[in-house]
Structure 1
Amino acid sequence: MSKAVTVAGIDCGTNSIRLMVAQVDDAGMHVVVPRIMRVVRLGQGIDETHRFADEALERTYAACREFADVLGKHPVDALRFVATSATRDARNREDFENTVEQILGVRPDVIPGTEEARLSFLGATSVVDQQAGGVAKPPYVVVDLGGGSTEVVLGGEGDDADTVQAAFSMNIGSVRMSERHLHTDPPTQEEIAAATRDIDERITEAFRTVSAGTARTIIGVSGTVTTMTGLALGLSTYDKSAVDGARVSIDAVCDTDDRILRMSRADRAQYPVIHPGRIDVIGGGALVWTRVLRRIQEAAREQGHDIDSYMASEHGLLDGIVRDLAQRVRGGGEA
């Protein structure tokens, strides 16, 4: 038997930052501190400036100080701070890394898109049997739709459900598409068309690497996916237990995506399911989600089978960070 360890993971993305603390032993992962999420919009304006905005840094540092207080009450054997799309693009990222290290005592690990994809797949597939009641068919295609990038990962065949066959990280996401194309409130048809062309070009590039049409199950993770799932399910307020593991018709969510995309921000604000920090960018994320789902459907039909639904999951990159770190610590590897 391997020793039990307590580890913490921080997922610092383009729109939000999350913390989770868990104990991992031979029986699996036991959450000590359920995920804490703060919308900090670290990637504000970064698609245009390639620099972190001062106010975005301050919002992120405030969240880091909050996380430091939590970690002070829950000592851990190891902590990993993973930074993704926005940090990869920022020219002034060294200042950010230095300040985070001062606050939390660990330096951000700025991972490439391929590593982000692997960890997202690990997190999403780790609970797929419990979520789906054992009926989810491999291979799986996991889509992690973030603020700055979207990862498409294929795998899960054979004896090891965690095995990744192919992965690609696209530079499209809710914040990036909204800032790049959807400037009017509500967006114009011309803006939507331009964003759609941009998204489709990136998906075509991704599908040269990832044969998404061979998948039998689509698993969607991230705030955009879970938010749009909650709306498609008709929830009046966000309910994690209702969303996590839900099977949703692709037609139904695409109709919901289009409706939310074309709304004004004031109209979106009338839906409590949408976090206030996502109201201005959820339209861009919804459009990405629709195009990825439709393109996977088309690719599957070319392979001779139909996919008419997806599974939503609350378990993605953050779960993967925690599980991967615990495996390394328990195996005696470097934390």
Structure 2
Amino acid sequence: MVDSVTVAGIDCGTNSIRLKISRVDADGMHDIVPRILRVVRLGQDVDKTHRFADDALDRAYAAAAEFAGVLSRHHVDGLRFVATSATRDAQNRDTFEDGIESILGVRPEVIPGTEEADLSFLGATSVVSRGELQPPYLVVDLGGGSTELVLGGDGVTAPATQVQAAFSMNIGSVRMTERHLRHDPPTEEEIAEAIADVDEHIDEAFRTVPAGKARTIIGVSGTVTTMSALVLGLKEYDHRRVDGARFAMKDAYEIDDRFLRMTRDERRQYKTIHPGRIDVVGGGAIVWSRVLAKVSQAAAEDHGGVLDSYVASEHGLLDGIVLDYGRRLLAARR
């Protein structure tokens, strides 16, 4: 009987592409190659043109070729390549899929927002110790093109790690920046337009996801972890300081607002921010602040609770892809 498999997962989003190789067994994931991230901005102008730009495709192909080199040095039982928001929206996605398949030998799976939400929740909650955080958990996966809200069970009537409701919103750091924040720094009118756009999407999501029932917010993705590192005042990004740490919402609001109103040159002085996020971190900050504020308000209205903090996590969609794929391969081989 096979008791473990070695699998690789690739998560290709609107702003970045990530690779992870892990051994998966009954106890979970054991990293062989921890996350490798490259910012390729595949979703460049997709919100406006509904097509991948040639230079964006070239950047994605270059990253895929690099990943192929890494994979050649490891025996893996399977590779799953998942593409999300930008690829869902691109009319020429076949060109992208053909190019990736020629480089890596697997065709990208363009998953719907609902599956993206489920996998993000699986990844985020896979490292939550029992009793460490109070359920229900609301996982917020804030990407470049979309943001997923996923609510789990209460741990009594339904397992805390079981998804109860999910919704994928077409708002993210890249999409909001390209759609609204056209000046450097953005004008107050542009910021107001972006907030109104984000709020409309959140209100729609709340009709599907009863976010007010949440007792713990878990934020995943580069925007959340970057802004959290800035709250800590880190001079350089340190995942060990950020992963699993709890942050007060009031501190997040202050940092989000300050960096939203900075020029790009001012942001470049902060090594905490990945160079590939310099121009879009403001758009992500708006989404993050509005989600926190709206969930906090909903919690007060739903159960009179005070929800004034969140937990940042390095574990999200990519972890969910690897863990889910590994478990399915294990089940098939038993």
TM-score, scaled to structure 1: 0.97
Question: 1:27-68: CA deviations, max 9, x gaps?
Answer: 321100010000000000000000000000000000000000
Match of 1:136 among 95, 108, 133: 133
Partner-residue secondary structure (3-state), 2:253: helix
Contact 1:229 1:253 in 2 (8 A): yes
Separation in 2 of the partners of 1:83 and 1:90? 11
Q: Gaps spanning 5+ residues in structure 1: where?
A: none
Aligned pairs for 1:107-118 within 5 A: 107-118=107-118
Q: How does 1:191-206 map to 2 (within 5 A)?
A: 191-206=190-205
State whether structure 2 residue 95 is matched by structure 1 residue 95: yes
2-structure distance, mates of 1:297, 1:138: 15
Q: Which runs of 5+ in 2 are unaligned?
A: none
Alpha-carbon deviations, 1:197-222, whole Å to 9, x = none? 00000000000000001000000000
Partner of 1:327: 327
Cα deviation for residue 195 of structure 1 reads 0.3
Shift of 1:113: 0.3
> How far has the Cα of 1:231 moved from its partner?
0.2
Residues of 2 paired with 1:154 and 1:325: CA distance? 22
Cα deviation for residue 323 of structure 1 reads: 0.3
Name 2:26's counterpart in structure 1.
26
Offset, 1:161: 3.3
* Equivalent residue runs for 1:23-172 within 5 Å: 23-129=23-129, 134-158=131-155, 160-172=159-171
Instruction: Kindly state the Cα deviation for residue 309 of structure 1 after the two structures are TM-superposed.
Output: 0.3
Q: For 1:154, what is the secondary structure of its paired residue?
A: strand
- Equivalent residue number for residue 296 of structure 2: 297
Amino acid at match of 2:137: Y
- The 5-angstrom pairing of residues 182-193 of structure 1 reads 182-193=181-192
Measured after TM superposition, the shift of residue 156 of structure 1 is 3.5
Structure 1 125/156 Cα, relative in aligned 2: closer, same or farther at 3 Å? farther
Q: Measure the CA separation in 2 of the matches of 1:238 and 1:108.
A: 30
Matches of 1:229 and 1:74 in 2, distance apart? 34
Q: Which amino acid in 1 is paired with 2:11?
A: D
Question: Which residue of structure 2 lines up, in the alignment, with residue 257 of structure 1?
Answer: 256
Q: CA deviation digits over 1:309-334, x for unaligned, max 9?
A: 0000000000000000001000007x
- What TM-score, normalized by structure 2, do the two folds share? 0.97
Q: Structure 1 residue runs of 4+, over 6 Å off?
A: none
Q: 1:75 Cα shift?
A: 1.6
> Deviation digits for residues 224-248 of structure 1, max 9, x if unmatched?
0000000011111100000000100
In the aligned structure 1, how far is the partner of 2:305 from the partner of 2:186? 35
Instruction: Give the SS at the match of 1:73.
Output: coil
1:237-268 per-position Cα deviation (integer Å, ceiling 9, x unaligned)? 10000000010000001100000000000000
Partner SS for 1:286: helix
The alignment partner of 2:129 has SS state of helix
Distance 2:75 2:46 in 1: 34
Provide, for residues 274-304 of structure 1, a one-character-per-residue CA deviation record: whole Å limited to 9, x for no partner: 0000000000000100000000000001011
Deviations 1:4-42 (A, max 9, x none): 100000000000000000001223211000100000000
The CA deviation at 1:105 is 0.6
Verify the 8 A CA contact 1:261 1:283 in the aligned structure 2: yes
Alpha-carbon distance between aligned partners in 1 of 2:271 and 2:184, rounded to the nearest angstrom: 19
Residue 2 of structure 1, CA deviation: 5.0
Corresponding position of 2:317: 317
Q: Does the alignment pair 1:238 with 2:243?
A: no
Letter in 1 for 2:261: R
Q: State the identity as a percent.
A: 68
State the shift of 1:3 in Å: 1.8
Write the distance in 2 (CA, Å) between the matches of 1:204 and 1:161. Answer: 24
**Kept in 2: contact 1:157–1:163 (CA 8 A):** no
SS of the aligned residue for 1:331 comes to helix
Contact 1:7 1:77 (8 Å CA) reproduced = yes
Equivalents in 2 of 1:49, 1:26: separation in Å? 45
